[in-house]
């Protein structure tokens, strides 16, 4: 990283598709394990996913700990540094709500709601995720296509 542009810095440490999709899965869908990330709609390859999880951990965006109830599982969660990406993810969502014709009305309303009281709601969502929840409810079983709000 030869220069100090903040955007370039961000793009180099978290700015690739698979990394951001993992962060999304944790923050918006409450996913926590390798297998759950693997079964996302976008279907990452196992080696790519493993690499991204390692890098995200190395760079301090996520931490992992072994599940005490099932020691095969590793539980991944966001650090403060990772939680602070939520506002950016929401801006991407807001953009897509406006320009992706496939986004449902339901989601556009969600964005409007967020925009109406941006900082208060953002803080609320970060808090929710910090405490083990997820922005779109705490349901991993739900699919992206099901619509965003509980």
Partner DNA sequence: ATTATTTACTTGTTTTTTGCAAGTATGCTA
Partner DNA sequence: TAGCATACTTGCAAAAAACAAGTAAATAAT
Name the E strands within the chain.
Answer: 62-66, 74-78
| Least distance in angstroms from the C-beta of 54 to DNA | 7
Q: Which window, 6-14, 47-55, 97-105, 115-123, contacts DNA (CB under 7 A)?
A: 47-55
Q: Which of 8, 12, 15, 46 binds DNA (CB under 7 A)?
A: 46
105 binds its own copies, rule: CB under 8 A: no
Q: Which window, 12-20, 30-38, 48-56, 123-131, contacts its own copies (CB under 8 A)?
A: 12-20
Going from the C-alpha of 10 to that of each of 2, 16, 59, 82, 135, the distances in angstroms are 13, 10, 11, 12, 23
Q: How far apart are CA 29 and CA 20, in angstroms?
A: 13
Q: Which window, 22-30, 65-73, 107-115, 122-130, contacts DNA (CB under 7 A)?
A: 65-73
Q: How far apart are CA 39 and CA 150, in angstroms?
A: 21
Nearer of residues 46 and 112 to DNA, judged by Cβ: 46
141 binds its own copies, rule: CB under 8 A: no
85 binds its own copies, rule: CB under 8 A: yes
> Measured in whole angstroms, how far is the alpha carbon of residue 118 from the centre of its chain?
18
> Measured in whole angstroms, how far is the alpha carbon of residue 6 from the centre of its chain?
20
Q: How far apart are CA 82 and CA 77, in angstroms?
A: 9
| Least distance in angstroms from the C-beta of 69 to its own copies | 30
Q: How far apart are CA 30 and CA 133, in angstroms?
A: 6
Nearer of residues 119 and 131 to its own copies, judged by Cβ: 119
Q: Please give the residue ranges that form the binding site for DNA (CB under 7 A).
A: 16, 18, 33-36, 38, 43-48, 50-51, 53-54, 64, 70-74
């Amino acid at each position: 990283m030869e220069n100090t542009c903040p955007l370039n810095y961000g793009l180099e440490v978290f700015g690739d598709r698979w990394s951001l999709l993992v962060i999304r899965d944790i923050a918006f869908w409450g996913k926590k394990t390798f297998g759950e990330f693997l079964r996302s709609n976008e279907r990452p390859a196992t080696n790519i996913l493993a690499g991204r999880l390692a890098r995200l951990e190395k760079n301090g965006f996520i931490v992992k700990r072994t599940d005490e109830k099932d020691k095969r599982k590793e539980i991944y969660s966001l650090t403060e540094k990772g939680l602070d990406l939520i506002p950016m993810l929401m801006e991407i969502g807001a953009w897509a709500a406006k320009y992706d014709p496939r986004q449902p009305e339901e989601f556009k309303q969600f964005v409007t709601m967020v925009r109406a009281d941006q900082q208060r709601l953002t803080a609320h969502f970060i808090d929710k995720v910090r405490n083990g929840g997820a922005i779109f409810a705490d349901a991993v079983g739900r699919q992206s296509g099901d619509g965003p709000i509980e």
